[in-house]
Amino acid sequence: MSAPSDVPNHVAIVMDGNGRWARARALPRNRGHRAGEEAVARAVHAGVDLGIGYLTLYAFSTENWRRPKPEVRWLLNDTERFVAQRRSEFHARDIRMRWIGRRDWRVPKRISTIIDETIAMTGSNRGMTLTIAFNYGGRAEIVDAARALATDARARKLDPSRIDERRFARALYDPTLPDVDLFIRTGGEQRVSNYMLWQSSYAELVFLDVLWPDFEAGDLAGALEEFSRRRRRFGKV
């Protein structure tokens, strides 16, 4: 698999279509999520092979808590199991794993523990950075950043007049994440679904009809090819 000449540094993916994949096969929804895990592994390895610097995956949103409790419980358990099983595999490929999202009371302690263990395990790696957006919402991230800045201003640690875009970005969940270059959504829907709102202000958007469990390395390479054909002006002529 050859990489396009112009590879985006940061790719963000909305992994959509697990439920519809299962429904089309008369299977329970959790079978779709399980099939989606294999697609995650394929996407991660393809990202390394294609030379992507940062890959950010939308695993569980702040809105996903509204789903039926059995499905939420399954997603939480499966997230823990998947990370425990795959982190050594990713670590062997020099992948650095990070997380973004709220660490509130709804996130079980065992999930927080495995997140922290994995960050520590892979923290010195210098290959692709894989970021999992878990209990994440773009609006929530912006609100939390604004709250942190307001708290510093009230404590007189920050002059409000000195808040600019750069200072605001440093208050986001992971200020080391660069802006998104390529935003991919699978499943045929064409919306951003409250994902990476600040970071994606100048991202190129690619919407794919393929359901996430069917996502292959070639689909990622094809999206990168589409990206390489785009002309990015960033407001200039």
Kindly list the catalytic residues: 16, 64
In angstroms, the CA 38 to CA 87 distance is 14
How far is it, in rounded angstroms, from Cα 136 to Cα 107?
11
The CA distance from 120 to 111, in Å, is 14
